[in-house]
Amino acid sequence: MLPVIYSDEFLEHKTGNYHPESPQRLTAIVKALKQAPFAEKLIWRSPTPASENPALMPMLSKAHTPDYIDKVHRIAFAGGGYLDGDTPISPRSYDVALLAVSAWLDGIDVVLSTENPAFVLSRPPGHHAESDMGMGFCLFSNAAIAAFHALQKPGINRVAILDWDVHHGNGTQAIVESEAQIAYCSLHQYPCYPGTGRASERGFHNNVLNLPVPPGSTMAVYQPLFENKVLPFLANFQADLLIISAGYDANAEDPLASVNLQPEDYGYLINYCLGYTRKILVGLEGGYDLPTLAQSVVATIEPCLV
């Protein structure tokens, strides 16, 4: 059995017609999961309402400045607007983004109580959101906030974040690279938005590993990187928990990048991670071709059920 943390409220973050980060991303994934051969093995859970999650605001405030949190709230309350040219805020976006954070925190709690994987199916995504600035479709840094939350739990002294979104998680790295108890590893197309994530960056505590890949990369590139770079990095860090920023825009069909993974490749990637630990929280980031996005989530979840 695998918990999937999801709410229809995540559809209420409205990005406008033709924006790639659309509510249809979630409806496509939900439909695919409910039709999957393993559908009966999924436990659908609603996230804790933001107002009822005592950890939410303290953890949000560890990742983001009060002025930035207030800015997102003000724009939404005023009827909506833009953080940048790509990142719209609709009237309900602040509330929905808080609920997404709550879902990731719930995911940490579930993984630690079961010592098995869980999947957070939420939006808006988060890995581009820096402490004082949202960008790249992202409002709050879900993965970083979840890592801070995990470190409050008994027996959790070190947390690793693996980001396989095709775009570098500049926000996640900026927030956690000074934290000795958090490691960040990213595989991402370079050059590509947002232009960050150089291989030379190591973090403040040798806790960052960036693995840029060229356009056109396939599993033939990713496989040796996982075996020779990612897994040794994780093994050396000895994390008590793994958080995956699971973007699916490295698919060949995705319109926003030029890496050529196939949906089934994500089954291989998660299997590498399961060989490291079963205490894995997988949370949705990017992925904008609806069919391959949905297929990739199915491919990620299936090995977790073994």
Q: What is the pLDDT of residues 19-28, one digit of tens each?
A: 999 999 999 9
> What are the residue ranges in the chain where pLDDT is below 70?
none
Domain boundaries, the chain: 2-304
Correct CATH for 2-304 of 3.40.800.20, 3.40.50.300, 3.20.20.70, 3.20.190.10: 3.40.800.20
Q: Is 88 exposed, middle or buried (0-12, 13-18, 19+ CB in 10 A)?
A: buried
Alpha-carbon dihedral 254, 255, 256, 258, rounded to 10 degrees: 70
Position 296 scores a pLDDT of 98
Strand partners, 246: 284
Distance CA 94, CA 115 (A): 31
Position 41 scores a pLDDT of 98
CB 160 within 8 A of CB 182: yes
Selection from 167, 207, 222 nearest residue 190 by Cα: 167
Task: Please list the active-site residues.
Answer: 128
CB 15 within 8 A of CB 90: yes
| Mutual angle of helices 142-150 and 93-114, in 10-degree steps | 40
pTM for this predicted structure: 0.98
Q: What is the pLDDT of residues 55-80, one digit of tens each?
A: 999 999 999 999 999 999 999 999 99
